[in-house]
Amino acid sequence: MSVIMYRFEKSSKWMKRYARPLELARWTYHFDGGQKEDVLRILAAFQNEDGGFGHGIEPDFWLPKSSPMATWAAGQVLMEVDADSNDLIVQKMISYLIKNYNHDTGMWTSVLPENNDYPHAIWWNWSEDVQKNWMFNPSAELAAFLIHWSPENSDGAHVGWSSIEKAIERLMNASQMDKHEIQNFQALTKIMQKYENEFNRRLSYSFNSVCDKVYELIENCMEKDPSKWSTGYLPLPLDFIDGPEHPLFEKNKTLVEQNIQFFLDELKEDGYWDVSWGWGMYPDEYPIARRYWQGILTVNRYKLLKNFY
């Protein structure tokens, strides 16, 4: 523990020198007694007049226009600080999500054509039928945001349940799934836990069976060979198992402990974590995104480690 605390102090100094204001506000909120209002104030700088978010809040695509994916990134921060449904930033976001929902597919568009006009990683490139690669990433989680922050029987709640119904059909008929989409579904189950009774009443699958399916897909997706973890961008145990209370923790306890040590070994001497991916394009802009990601990874991983110590 003393080693972790020593590294934490170095990381704290690094964050205050180099992190974006948003990640520094999150760091201060979690570790230095900061206020959620400071996080919300800085987060609002990424919000557009239509209520959606853009402006590179997700550093791998720099589209200033609102997009569902950027709005999802903002929604995660809002959940993290327990934003209230009455907060203006939340109300504006809900309005954007209602207006941009595709009732036919039950999804929000994951990648917009305008992505191609701004610096971005190659996987954020738009092309025809690209939605098939993304499916309910991030729609499953966006739908849960709507339920969480919308009054019962409101337009937001109706849209949320409509999306969730289609998302669960996708989930329950899948034999495998991309790491990120699984994470969206796991977040959905966490948010929807307090709505379990209504979930069971509205949907043809029970809430417990949906949770079991998520855990099954996690087990199928998770890379369980530690020797491969440093070879690329892989789905690691700690991408899913976020604390000792997680249902898969006991079964995978040794792997989780190895993953914690792997993260500690990967921590740079200056106190930050680096990314394990490149863009494959935009060589001048990528280093900027890389620096932003270092701050995001550092606050996210210390948050995670805090759950285990």
Instruction: Indicate the angle between helix axes 21-31 and 68-80, nearest 10 degrees.
Output: 20
Q: Which tokens hold the place of 23?
A: 């990640």
- Return averaged pLDDT per consecutive 10 residues of the chain, 309 residues in all: 75 97 98 97 98 98 98 98 97 98 98 98 96 97 98 96 98 96 98 97 97 98 96 94 97 98 95 94 97 98 94
pLDDT at site 209: 98
Looking up tokens 């690691």, which residue turns up? 236
For residue 53, count other CB atoms closer than 10 A to its CB.
30
For 34, how many CA atoms within 13 A lie in the half-sphere containing its CB? 20
Beta-bridge partners for 167: none
Q: Is residue 58 within a helix (H) or strand (E), and if so which, with residue range? A: none
The C-alpha atoms of residue 179 and residue 204 are separated, in whole angstroms, by 25
Per DSSP, what are the bridge partners of residue 243? Answer: none
Check residue 231 and give its pLDDT.
Answer: 87
CA dihedral 93, 94, 100, 101 (to 10 degrees): 140
pLDDT for 3 equals 60
